[in-house]
Amino acid sequence: MKEISVQELLDDRQEFLHLELLTGKTGLERKIIIADANRPGLALSGYMGYFLWERIQIIGITETGYLETLSPDKRVESLKRITAFELPCIIISKGLAAHPELVAICLERRIPLLRTGLDTTDFIHKLSSYIDNRLAPTTTVHGTLVDVYGLGLLYTGDSGIGKSECALDLVERGHRLVADDVVEIKKRGQSVLIGFGNKLLRHHMEIRGIGIIDLATIFGIRAVRMRKRIEVEVRLKRWSDDEDYERVGLDEKPTTILGVEIPLVTVPVVPGKNISVISEVIAMNQLLKVCGYRTPEEFNNRLLESMQKKFEAAKFEEDDLE
């Protein structure tokens, strides 16, 4: 399971999230393992059922207002109730003042206490988005990722089969390279795969016989982009007479990356075959599918209609006894 520490959160996003540390460096090694935050209002009032203690606890104006209605002894009792768990940290929103009892208890139990000047809803959205990105499942694929007509095509296949050369031709035709050779993939949400390049190799490409080239320098900034959603995998395979390749398109075979299914198109490679033009057709065909138009099914329906008409005409002639 991936995790980040409270110290890493501060190092990466202290300025962006307007975070202020109220308890010194106490407990900054505590781990954050869930992106969602929790508002502990019910827990403060005494109901501990389903208390999500493993999440960052956000104390906003509602929780602060409730604590102010309590006597000092009841306030301490209420705060000790939620801090009895191994909380990652507690964050006070909207720049509200921290109750002295809360500061003392957090210091005693080594729970980081922070404050932000941001509105509660805005802060939770930004915080969860950052942590979700940091904790997202990731993998690395040997391939090439290109933005073709706004669609992310991930090229895979054996080394030397022509993935980089295909991407280079697509860039020359006006499309954009995201990553070559090493594609890092991150899962966002339940069904989105985001691909990006290694920081060291970003926008560089190895062409056999030439060496390493920088596409951003040669073609300009319009030829590259930092990241792109992966929507289709294009698998390049050397032609084999024994292989049964898809010819109609009715039998679609998906592939799975990080638990997310995306369409898989297998393209047999032979000398002289224009893979870049085929790639553009793959992208446009996928866009048509997204819009609800599926060419193989339309063709199949027209074929069945034609066969039905011929059958009806033949039956009419057979039944005509005159």
Look up the CATH number of the domain holding residue 113.
Answer: 3.40.1390.20
For the question of residue 142 being annotated catalytic, the response is: yes
User: Quick one: pLDDT at residue 135?
Assistant: 94
For the question of residue 163 being annotated catalytic, the response is: yes
The answer to whether the beta carbons of residues 110 and 27 sit under 8 Å apart is yes
User: Quick one: pLDDT at residue 19?
Assistant: 96
Residue-number span of the structural domain to which 316 is assigned: 295-322
Number of structural domains found in the chain: 3
* 307 and 284 in a common domain: no
Taking alpha carbons only, the member of 152, 4, 27, 143 closest to residue 90 is 27
User: Quick one: pLDDT at residue 288?
Assistant: 86
Please check if 160 is assigned to a binding site. Answer: yes
- Residues 2, 25, 110, 142: which is the catalytic one? 142
* 226 and 120 in a common domain: no
For the question of residue 315 being annotated catalytic, the response is: no
- Residues 163, 176, 204, 228: which is the catalytic one? 163
* 147 and 279 in a common domain: yes
* 150 and 124 in a common domain: no
> Which among 108, 134, 160 is the end of a domain?
134
* 162 and 55 in a common domain: no
The answer to whether the beta carbons of residues 98 and 115 sit under 8 Å apart is yes
* 200 and 82 in a common domain: no
The answer to whether the beta carbons of residues 67 and 41 sit under 8 Å apart is no
Please check if 161 is assigned to a binding site. Answer: yes
* 229 and 205 in a common domain: yes
- Residues of 3-42 as b/e, b for ≥16 C-beta within 10 angstroms? ebbbeebbeebeeebbbbbbbeebbbebebebbebbbbee
Consecutive 10-residue runs of the chain (322 residues): their mean pLDDT? Answer: 93 95 93 95 92 96 95 95 96 95 95 96 96 94 95 93 92 95 92 91 85 90 94 91 62 88 91 88 88 68 66 56 54
Distance CA 299, CA 281 (A): 17
* 277 and 152 in a common domain: yes
> Which among 86, 119, 134 is the end of a domain?
134
Please check if 8 is assigned to a binding site. Answer: no
Please check if 163 is assigned to a binding site. Answer: yes
DSSP structure class, residue 98: P
> Which among 111, 134, 157 is the end of a domain?
134
Element (H, E) at 185: strand 176-188
* 250 and 142 in a common domain: yes
Please check if 159 is assigned to a binding site. Answer: yes
For the question of residue 74 being annotated catalytic, the response is: no
User: What does pTM read for this prediction?
Assistant: 0.78
Element (H, E) at 260: strand 260-269
Q: How many whole angstroms from its chain centre is CA 193? A: 4
* 76 and 125 in a common domain: yes
Please check if 292 is assigned to a binding site. Answer: no
* 204 and 114 in a common domain: no
- Residues 31, 81, 181, 229: which is the catalytic one? 181
* 305 and 281 in a common domain: no
- Residues 208, 241, 242, 247: which is the catalytic one? 247
Token pair, residue 97, equals 């003042």
Please check if 80 is assigned to a binding site. Answer: no
